[in-house]
Structure 1
């Protein structure tokens, strides 16, 4: 399965680490991919941090910076806005560092009369912010969100993610997002395949969520692997699934030798 693979795309939360701890086999997996001469790219739906913050965290956890690259749904959302809604005014839900990333990228952020509203994983969310967001959604302003994950896995258990906030907005306004940018949309993975000059048959997608990571890989038509180190449990797997299943990255490394 791993012969002639040039691009390994991995989820982070629940796949490579959990909270502030690397999962079994994670560092060995990164080293193995590097020794193959292939690229390792972390594609995370978690938009509560910037690429630089993720790189800093991985290095702190002991992963050499030359072994990987990182792409987030926040970056993908910025790219989507610039390509599809250039020079539009945005009301944004985001943590301060991601808000600065949007501004640095040339996105005009406003508190009143936006052309569209954008929801990322805002761990600084307040009632005032969500109330204003819902007001704009009720007025029919186009609604963009970075990803649909309902929960984010942590060492202490799952915590509410953007999908939970989407449900809140829908319950209040009757509207769901007009655009969901991150996984499972195949476009985000196909974009990485192009950016890293790879081909679908040379690409592997690995993650722990059936409805985002695995669905994304299947939609894009690449080799897809589910790991049981995060959200998905063995009783959630259908009979004869169209993807491979491993306990964790440690088991994958063993099969690559």
Structure 2
């Protein structure tokens, strides 16, 4: 494994890693500025389906972090890329937030509300999920539509609470349709990893994945051959490791520890 300062690509999760709520986390601004000064490849990899990359960019800039929308990758973008690469003319029934539908439309994917026309059912976080949406999604899948889950997240931390995210909706649709998801395209999937590595043009071993969740961020690194760093500023904690479970290469209390490692080098 490379020395901590010698990676060419540094991939950061957003919520719980770079920011929490409406505040940047300690060390976030400093580490991004140092890496940018060294002309490293920076990417911010989110499993969000409720915000577009542009939404995320505006949010980060409002907190004082200078990023470009092209450096941000969302689960919605990855789902759109998957649909376009696996279907000639997908017609997608979306269960999700307006941002997920906007991502499909921007990518040139047709959205349909007719379950009998849908070639795919795409599920993301949906705070307006209803019995009617459950029925329509299950009906489409029973009629042959391919079931796509945008991420495997069970919950989303918001203002000290945990809101149900994508996976509870996926499981309810699975129960109603009798069919599980054909694919999950978000972190930690290898499809997501392949898209990022192609985008950056780097070998996996030259990259470090930094995040706060063992089940998505760190698992993403493991599945895609990246070095991994867990920050204890979000969801996961040291106590969650099982005996014999593979551990991240680095564990930090916050990104300030990465800043300290860089201080003697650049």
2:233 aligned with 1:242: no
Q: Does 1:193 align with 2:181?
A: no
2:254 counterpart of 1:254 = no
Q: 1:184 aligns with which of 179, 183, 188?
A: 188
1:156-187 deviations in Å (ceiling 9; x for gaps): 22211101211222333332210100111123
CA RMSD of aligned residues (A): 1.9
- Uncovered stretches (5+) of structure 2, i.e. residues with no partner: none
**SS in structure 2 of the partner of residue 152 of structure 1:** strand
- Structure 2 residue 194 is matched with structure 1 residue 153: no
1-structure distance, mates of 2:261, 2:161:
29
Query: How many angstroms does 1:239 deviate by?
Result: 5.1
Task: Compute the TM-score of the two structures, normalised by the length of structure 2.
Answer: 0.90
Gap regions ≥5 residues in structure 1? none
Aligned equivalent of 1:213: 217
**What corresponds to 2:135 in structure 1?**
131
- Deviation (angstroms), 1:25: 1.3
Whether the aligned pair in 2 keeps the contact of 1:40 and 1:67 (CA below 8 Å) is no
User: Which of 80, 85, 93 does residue 87 from structure 2 map onto?
Assistant: 85
**TM-score, length of structure 1 as denominator length:** 0.93
Q: For 2:99 and 2:255, locate their aligned partners in 1 and report how far apart those are by CA, in whole Å.
A: 30
Matched residue count? 257
Match of 1:102 in 2: 104
CA contact (8 A) 2:5 2:262 kept: no
Cα contact 2:135–2:176 (8 A) shared by 1:
no
**Cα-to-partner distance string for 1:188-207 (whole Å, 9 max, x where unaligned):** 12321221122222200011
2: CA distance, partners of 1:143 / 1:171: 13
CA distance in 2, matches of 1:183, 1:126: 26
Distance 1:3 1:12 in 2: 21
Which of 3, 6, 10 aligns to 1:4? It is 6
Residues in 2 aligned to 1:196 and 1:101: alpha-carbon distance in whole angstroms: 21
The corresponding residue for 1:44 is: 46
Structure 1 CA distance for aligned equivalents of residues 18 and 141 of structure 2: 36
SS of the equivalent of 1:153 reads: strand
